[in-house]
């Protein structure tokens, strides 16, 4: 029982040490940048086509660096920002996207779903519904 209490305490310390404002705004920024029209505009401007994962990583690093200087963080805060970045990637990929996919599959209107999921995911959902 003492070990379980220690584990829970360490998890609580880790969760409270994360920069939640960075995590939330990073996820929102990535959704905005990875929106179809924004991605298309970036491709026209830069002439380069990048995969979503690389755009997310570049946004996270650039945003973390910007916050480091804007907030006047010390060197000790770099680890905190990096942990928040990694947590945001995992949280976004495994929890937020899974939740959105589940909502779209279980009755979220298509007018909303098409803004949250890409065409490939929507096709899988519609193919799955047609099989039933």
pLDDT of 33 reads 78
pLDDT of 114 reads 67
pLDDT along the chain (132 residues), means of 10: 91 91 89 73 76 82 92 88 90 75 73 67 65 50
Q: Is 27 exposed, middle or buried (0-12, 13-18, 19+ CB in 10 A)?
A: middle
pLDDT of 125 reads 66
pLDDT of 10 reads 92
Query: What's the pTM value of the predicted model, to 2 decimals?
Result: 0.67
Residue 20: partners with Cβ closer than 8 Å, 6 or more residues away: 84
């Amino acid at each position: 029982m003492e070990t379980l209490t220690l584990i829970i305490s360490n998890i609580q310390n880790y969760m409270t040490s994360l920069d939640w404002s960075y995590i939330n705004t990073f996820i929102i920024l990535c959704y905005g940048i990875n929106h179809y029209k924004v991605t298309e505009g970036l491709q026209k401007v830069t002439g380069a086509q990048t995969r979503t994962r690389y755009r997310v990583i570049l946004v996270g690093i650039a945003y973390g660096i910007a916050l480091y200087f804007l907030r006047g963080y010390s060197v000790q805060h770099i680890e905190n920002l990096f942990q928040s970045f990694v947590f945001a990637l995992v949280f976004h990929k495994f929890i937020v996207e899974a939740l959105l996919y589940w909502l779209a599959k279980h009755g979220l209107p298509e007018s909303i779903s098409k803004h949250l999921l890409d065409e490939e995911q929507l096709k899988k959902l519609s193919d799955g519904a047609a099989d039933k």
